[in-house]
């Protein structure tokens, strides 16, 4: 029932074969995968890591736990992914890595990000928590940078309650990733019969999920292509049904750039101002429809102010924090979509 049994291996083989990553290791969360990535990047006090502020605290926590400083830059107005044009101006002699967060399962512009990283000898970590089976220029998210992180939290397309995976795309990190994941020991090599006893070699922690979690996840992975197709159909129904409201200037719908597809992970709306968002959230709640806001920008949060540094002004990030809300997105919601779209229309026209 503990980690790295048959179900864990089968999940890792499925992910490695499907996504075409050098190595894949299951973790107990995407947070754990990001913490492993920070260790593999050898972050230390005084180092800086460039990332968006519009992301989950786990993205920044992984950096802060190593003593390094997250440097927050603004996001693009179309996808709310990190603005690739702001990364290079934020690079300093202390910069060690870039974290590309693929918001809503839509890819960042990875080509220019990787080019910047090569020019400045920086590591690239992809926070692809929401991005399973999405491709950027034909390659799956999480496999373009040095290291990727996936989430299988209950809110994601493939779930195991809690769960994640670290994708190793640079061979230099493969051996050490195994050791870090197994409490800093070479226990995995021992179980493969490569050594006669296992020893403590490095820092690490217990980042493995149990086999019950892995068994649940395997069943999800075996169906995730079909699950993703259904989510994309839900996404399209929302998108088509809300087009007239966008044309009337009452709200803004998501944008999918030509370089990337998407996986239907979530559908969001951006309202004209915070009051309009509050009215819509309250109106939908009164009709028993849950439509929550998303991230509070990290650079405005107490821990972000304490541990991070903000590069320039972040007006788009702040607008997303104040004006964006998410619509219900889960398999089985299809019969309710027309009513949800109708209720949104009724509320915003009031």
pLDDT tens digit sequence for 234-279? 999 999 999 999 999 999 999 999 999 999 999 999 999 999 999 9
User: Residue 187: pLDDT above 90?
Assistant: no
At residue 188, the pLDDT reads 82
Residue where a domain stops, chosen among 193, 220, 247 = 220
- Whether residues 50 and 156 fall in one domain: yes
Token look-up 């309009």 returns: 276
Query: Which is nearest to 91 in space by CA: 123, 48, 128?
Result: 48
For the domain that residue 265 is a member of, what is the CATH number?
3.90.1150.10
**Is 1 contained in some domain?**
no
Contact 204, 181 (CB under 8 A): yes
Contact 249, 271 (CB under 8 A): no
For the domain that residue 182 is a member of, what is the CATH number?
3.40.640.10
**Is 10 contained in some domain?**
yes
Which residue segment(s) compose the domain that 242 sits in?
Answer: 224-348
Task: Please tell me the total count of domains within the chain.
Answer: 2
pLDDT band at 3 (very low <50, low <70, confident <90, very high): confident
pLDDT band at 189 (very low <50, low <70, confident <90, very high): confident
Please give the Cα distance from 33 to 23 (Å, whole number).
Answer: 13
DSSP one-letter string for 288-305: T----B-PPPGGGSHHHH
Sign of the dihedral defined by the CA atoms of residues 155, 160, 166, 168, in that order: negative
Say what the pTM is.
0.95
Contact 157, 227 (CB under 8 A): yes
Q: By mean pLDDT, which of 2-6, 59-63, 121-125, 287-291 is the weakest?
A: 2-6
- Whether residues 216 and 228 fall in one domain: no
Q: Take residue 284 and report the two structure tokens written for it.
A: 């939908």
- Whether residues 54 and 194 fall in one domain: yes
- Beta strand 164-168 pairing with 23-27: antiparallel
Task: List pLDDT tens digits, range 84-112.
Answer: 999 999 999 999 999 999 999 999 999 99
Across the chain, what does the average pLDDT equal?
96
Task: List pLDDT tens digits, range 43-67.
Answer: 999 999 999 999 999 999 999 999 9
Residue where a domain stops, chosen among 188, 220, 252 = 220
User: Residue 190: pLDDT above 80?
Assistant: no
Q: Take residue 216 and report the two structure tokens written for it.
A: 């649940």
**Is 238 contained in some domain?**
yes
């Amino acid at each position: 029932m503990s980690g790295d049994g048959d179900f864990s291996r089968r999940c890792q083989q499925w992910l490695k074969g499907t996504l075409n990553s050098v190595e894949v290791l299951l973790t107990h969360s995407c947070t754990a995968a990001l913490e492993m990535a920070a260790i593999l990047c050898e972050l230390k006090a005084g180092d800086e890591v460039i990332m968006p502020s519009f992301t989950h605290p786990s993205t920044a926590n992984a950096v802060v736990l190593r003593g390094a400083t997250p440097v927050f830059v603004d996001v693009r107005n179309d996808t709310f992914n990190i603005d690739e044009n702001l990364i290079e101006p934020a690079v300093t002699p202390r910069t060690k890595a870039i974290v590309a967060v693929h918001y809503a399962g839509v890819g960042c512009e990875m080509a220019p990000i990787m080019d910047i990283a090569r020019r400045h000898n920086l590591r690239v970590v992809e926070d692809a928590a929401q991005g399973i089976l999405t491709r950027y220029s034909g390659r799956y998210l999480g496999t373009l940078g040095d290291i990727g992180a996936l989430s299988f939290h209950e809110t994601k397309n493939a779930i195991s309650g809690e769960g994640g995976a670290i994708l190793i795309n640079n061979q230099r990190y493969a051996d050490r990733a195994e050791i870090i994941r197994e409490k800093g020991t070479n226990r995995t090599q021992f179980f493969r019969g490569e050594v006669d006893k296992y020893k403590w070699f490095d820092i690490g922690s217990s980042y493995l999920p149990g086999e019950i979690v892995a068994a649940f996840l395997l069943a999800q992975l075996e169906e995730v292509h079909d699950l993703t197709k259904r989510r994309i159909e839900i996404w399209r129904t929302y998108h088509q049904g809300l087009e007239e409201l966008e044309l009337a200037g009452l709200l803004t719908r998501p944008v999918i750039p030509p370089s990337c597809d998407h996986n239907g992970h979530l559908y969001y709306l951006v309202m004209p101002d915070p009051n309009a968002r509050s009215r819509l959230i309250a109106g939908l709640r009164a009709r028993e429809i849950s439509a929550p806001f998303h991230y509070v920008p990290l650079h405005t949060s107490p821990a972000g102010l304490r541990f991070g540094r903000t590069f320039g002004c972040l007006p788009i990030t702040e607008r997303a924090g104040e004006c964006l809300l998410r619509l219900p997105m889960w398999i089985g919601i299809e019969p309710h979509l027309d009513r949800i779209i109708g209720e949104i229309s009724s509320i915003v026209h009031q």
